[in-house]
Amino acid sequence: MIKKSFQQFLKSLEKTMFFFFDFDGTIAHTFLHIPNESANIVVGAYSQALSTIWGKEAYELLHSVNGLQNRAPGELIRAILEQAEKEFPGGRQSLIAKAKVAFHEKFMGKPMNERLSACVAQGKGFPWVWNDKNPEQTITEFLVRAKLNTLLVKIGEHYPTPCPGFRYFYQKLRCQEPGSYNVSGIISSGHEVFIQQTFATWKIKCPSLLLTDDDLRGSRKVDYVQAAKPNPILVDMLYRLWLKSQYSQLPARQFEEFKEVAKTRTIYFGDDLNKDGGLAQNAGIRFGHFNPNHDPEKDNQVGEPDNFTFYDWRQASEILGL
């Protein structure tokens, strides 16, 4: 790319806005009870998946690390293994050995293996074979696919439902004024197939820019667990995904120049002040805090003056003038 054309590209960003979203609890109510379900459906799916790996120990293992705590799957597995080693020497290796047995006994035969293979988009996630050199990776992939095997069949009329006003906001976002360009993308510790099927059920177009846990597990360029929110590398990765649709390549120095301009035109929306708010702060971008429970304490913790809190996506539309 010649210098002149790159400068023209930077100039064109004056008409471009980047709207990046968390998914769970921000776009969709995924952590909810649904009819005929005895427990929160995501927590239930995690518990069932962990039971598939470690049997009756699963509940105690999850309790020992104080539950999910909005962690990515790899963060949860690492926490469980580290906690087991703290509690007694050899605890980590004992859990790994049990997981290996379960992996080969329960998931390597057809048709279960075929079902689990379809839960993650081809080419994403960790390799679906046992890895003795890094068993933590295989156990994480084990957890993800077992969890999705439970969750995907739940998608339907009652689950998951859009967060209040999201359909309205998203429609406004897609109704662009002449000459303007709104770019929407999702950064989620969730999973591509689940997100795409959810949008399809709602009969609205899913953003083409998706950066999920599946991408991070499949990446050789980043440390999977360290790249979890609030690491700002996630915003860089989503910018690069968008740039691929604009140019075949962009040298490192020009990417940094692009990023400095793009950051001033980016808003990230999320419901978790630590994970999502921290991501926005670390990336140097504006933050819209979705606070559906009207928690007044959280209203006062949004950080920079340009940040804002809202309870319904219609409010966000008004704040942003959409």
Listing DSSP states for 253-267 in one string gives HHHHHHHHHHHTTEE
Q: Give the list of residues 6+ apart from residue 217 with CB closer than 8 angstroms, or none.
A: 74, 124, 125, 126, 137, 140, 141, 144, 224
Query: Looking at the 3D structure of the chain, how many domains does it have?
Result: 2
Positions of E strands within the chain: 16-21, 28-29, 161-162, 181-187, 209-211, 266-270, 286-290, 308-310
For the chain, give the number of residues: 322
Cα-based distances in Å from 173 to 20, 314, 322: 12, 11, 7
For residue 313, being part of any structural domain is answered with yes
- Quick one: 204 and 292 in the same domain? yes
Tell me the pTM. 0.88
Distance of CA 135 to the CA centre of its chain: 23
User: Domain for residue 130, yes or no?
Assistant: yes
Task: Based on the fold, state whether residues 270 and 218 are members of the same structural domain.
Answer: yes
Question: For residue 35, is it within any domain?
Answer: no
The range of the structural domain enclosing residue 112 comes to 41-154
Per-residue tens of pLDDT for the chain, all 322 residues: 444 588 888 888 888 999 999 999 999 999 876 666 656 888 889 999 999 999 999 999 999 999 988 888 999 999 999 999 999 999 999 999 999 999 988 766 556 677 888 889 888 999 888 999 999 999 999 999 999 999 999 999 889 999 999 999 999 998 776 667 899 999 999 999 999 999 999 999 999 999 999 999 988 788 887 888 999 999 999 999 998 887 666 778 888 999 999 999 999 999 999 999 999 999 999 999 999 887 666 556 556 678 999 999 999 999 999 8
Amino acid at 270: G
CA-to-CA dists, residue 184 to 22, 77, 146, angstroms: 11, 31, 29
Residue at token pair 């429609």: 171
Q: Is 140 exposed, middle or buried (0-12, 13-18, 19+ CB in 10 A)?
A: buried
Examine the domain organization and report whether 135 and 176 are in the same domain. no
Q: Are residues 15 and 149 in the same domain?
A: no
Tell me, yes or no, whether 207 and 60 share the same domain: no
DSSP secondary structure string for all residues of 172-184: HHHSPPTT-EEEE
96, 119, 154 - which closes a domain: 154
137 and 57 within one domain: yes
Same domain, 223 and 128: no
Examine residue 36 and state whether it is found in any structural domain, yes or no: no
